[in-house]
Structure 1
Amino acid sequence: MTDQLTDAEPPAEEKLVGADRVIAVLTELAEHPLGVTLDELAGTLRSSKPTVHRALATLRRAGLADMTGRGVYVLGDEFLRLAFRNLDGRPETARLQPLLEELATTFGETAHYAVLSGRDIVYRAKMDPPQGAVRLTSVVGGRNPAYRTAVGKMLLSSRLGTLEEVGEWVGSFPLEQKTEHTRTTPQALLAELQTTRRRGYAIDDQENEVGINCVAVPVFLDGSATPTGAVSVSAVSFRTPLERLEAAVPQITDAISRHLGPRALG
């Protein structure tokens, strides 16, 4: 005998819509660490307040959202516990953290490990320097456009070799000029990727953020011919000029080899 749909059990299509709404609310909550109101969520998501309230109720029952008082919602402690437990349990995190600690201590700047995700890079691990008045705002799980970051250009250089490939990757996505140094045409991006591929490392010369420069090298963690990610050292330009970062590339690759093994360099 087949199951009959009832009012208590909506069709699969409606369930999917409901799940999508819950995920949208959860994602938007992550953008507001200080909290956000129901009215603000409904406005941002262009959804009715009852719909958003039902999604929030679902998240609160699971511990994935909390209400801090007077209608202000934040991510729940259970969400953070799950996220950090997953991150700490990833093999790459355990392997990379000692390397990033050494790089941050050696150079007095921030070290990252990031992977390519579509048109963005995602930071999988980060280590700030033990001392320093100015620190970067990047966070683990945070994203930046690949075309204007050193780690992104490093990873794109092994995937995009022709103007046609770069054009297909860019598509209708605007190459926003974040700073005066940002490359905003497929031709300029291709030239930079070719230079990156030739010298074996990538640079960000204040292309993503004024006053911040970066150097990145590829890392091969699974034995494939394509890098799984890239390790970078990002620096405040007045403290560590780009020229000094470029001169330090051999030190960075040496540290990668010692911590991850020679095969991690490809």
Structure 2
Amino acid sequence: MKQHKETSGGPTDPGRLVGSDRVLAVLRELARYPGGVGLDELTRVIGSPKPTVHRALGALRRAGLADQDDRSRYVLGDEFLRMAFAHHEARPDHVRVRPVLEALAHRFGETAHYAVLDGREVVYRAKVDPPTGAVRLTSTIGGRNPAHTTAVGKLLLARRLTSPAEVERWIGDPGADGAPGSDAALERRTPRSLCTTAGLFRELALTRERGYGVDDQENETGVNCLAVPLYLTSPSTPSGAVSVSALAYRTPLSLLVDALDEIRELLGPLGEPHS
């Protein structure tokens, strides 16, 4: 499952980064370089003067949020990692959903995710790999993918976009590439991705009817997925969706669909709406 890339592909406008904004921009950029990044490269990407970036790094280092390795390359600091992991482990949704993900990963020998909808993307809040035979997927906790190419995204969109006009408006949402209402606004991740208003509307209608979402190698070739809703914060509105992401040659989509009742049983009350 591909992880959606950040949009900061080039230098940031230095006029928009002042004070704490610049420090935060440096911190965010460091997260894109788990192997470390040099000051010159970081300066180029941030688009600010080298002394300014160096001062921001100094502030982050004093707070324990950044560090330098033995090659003098900058990396995220141990204190930042401690805070991030401690916060994630303590989140109520993570605590409640992890046993479900572990049960699904164990049962199918594939990766299980919990994700929520955020605008035009899904964000992965939790992930559990199977105990054996795991094949590393590129999805990460906190990572993003386009909603229209994922099972969890289509499942959650199906409740919000119930007419062709609503689908068209969503596709043409400000910030998307392409003109408002243009099918070109939808990214084609694989040849199977649904990238037209008509195609996405039909898929969302079918998703509403059957009550689960599928990704038939639409986000990443060779990987399929089935998603069902999860009710953590509301008795009637899903807080997100749980999915089983599988290698198509090993666990065909038809096998996951045939096991739908078992998947819902593993979710227990969290997978059932109630009044």
Tell me, yes or no, whether TM beats 0.5.
yes
- 1:197 lines up with 2:208 in the alignment: yes
**Structure 2 gap segments, 5+ residues each:** 1-14, 178-184
SS of equivalent residue, structure 1 residue 131:
coil
Q: Residue 164 of structure 1 corresponds to which residue in structure 2?
A: 165
Cα displacement (A) at 1:131: 0.7
Q: How does 1:169-248 map to 2 (within 5 A)?
A: 169-171=170-172, 172-173=176-177, 174-248=185-259
Measure the CA separation in 2 of the matches of 1:83 and 1:66.
16
Using the TM superposition, name which of 228-237 and 177-186 deviates more. 177-186
Per-residue displacement from partner, 1:113-140 (whole Å, max 9, x unpaired)? 0011121111111110011152312111
Structure 1 residue 128 corresponds to structure 2 residue 134: no
Which amino acid is the alignment partner of residue 164 of structure 2?
L
Query: Structure 1 residues 39, 16: closer, same or farther in 2, change over 3 A?
Result: closer
Question: Who is 1:9 aligned against?
Answer: none
Q: Please tell me whether the aligned partners of residues 257 and 263 of structure 1 are also in contact (alpha carbons under 8 angstroms).
A: no
Instruction: Return the alpha-carbon distance in structure 2 between the equivalents of residues 133 and 220 of structure 1.
Output: 28
Give 1:261 deviation, angstroms. Answer: 6.8
**Partner-residue secondary structure (3-state), 2:152:** helix
Distance 2:58 2:16 in 1: 16
Report the 3-state secondary structure (helix = DSSP H, G, I; strand = E; otherwise coil) of the residue aligned with 1:122: strand
Query: What is the DSSP-based 3-state SS (H/G/I as helix, E as strand, rest coil) of the residue aligned with 2:69?
Result: strand
> Is 2:112 the partner of 1:111?
yes
1:179 partner SS: coil
Instruction: Verify the 8 A CA contact 2:230 2:271 in the aligned structure 1.
Output: no
8 Å Cα contact 2:231/2:271 also seen in 1 = no
User: Normalised by the size of structure 2, how large is the TM-score?
Assistant: 0.86
The answer to whether 1:154 aligns with 2:155 is yes
**Per-residue deviation, 1:181:** 0.4
Q: Which amino acid aligns with 2:160?
A: R
What secondary structure sits across from 2:162 in the alignment?
coil
Deviations 1:148-205 (A, max 9, x none): 1111111111111122222222223421111100111222111111111111000001
> Alignment length, in residue pairs?
251
Cα RMSD of the aligned pairs, angstroms, is 1.9
Q: Which has the higher contact order (CA 8 A, sep 6+)?
A: 2
CA change 1:134–1:23 in 2 (3 A) is: same
Contact 1:177 1:183 (C-alpha < 8 Å) held by counterparts: yes
- The one-letter amino acid paired with 1:184 is C
**Once the two structures are aligned, what percentage of the paired residues are identical?**
58
Correspondence for 2:77: 76
* Aligned counterparts of 1:194 and 1:124: Cα–Cα separation in 2: 26
Larger Rg: 1
- CA deviation after TM superposition for structure 1 residue 78, in Å: 0.6
> What is the match of residue 180 of structure 2?
none
Q: Secondary structure at the match of 2:18?
A: helix
TM-score (norm 1): 0.89
Give the SS at the match of 1:176: coil
Q: State the distance in 2 between where 1:21 and 1:118 align.
A: 26
Aligned CA distance change for structure 1 residues 50 and 158 (closer, same or farther; 3 Å): same
Judge conservation of contact 1:211–1:238 (CA < 8 Å) in 2.
yes
| Residue pair 2:223, 2:248 contacting (<8 A) in 1 also | yes
- Would the alpha carbon gap of residues 90 and 240 (structure 1) be closer, same or farther in structure 2, given more than 3 Å must change? same
Q: Which runs of 5+ in 1 are unaligned?
A: 1-13
Is 1:41 aligned with 2:39? Answer: no
CA contact under 8 A between 2:111 and 2:134: conserved in structure 1? no
| Aligned counterparts of 1:120 and 1:65: Cα–Cα separation in 2 | 29
Q: Distance in 1 between matches of 2:95 and 2:56?
A: 35
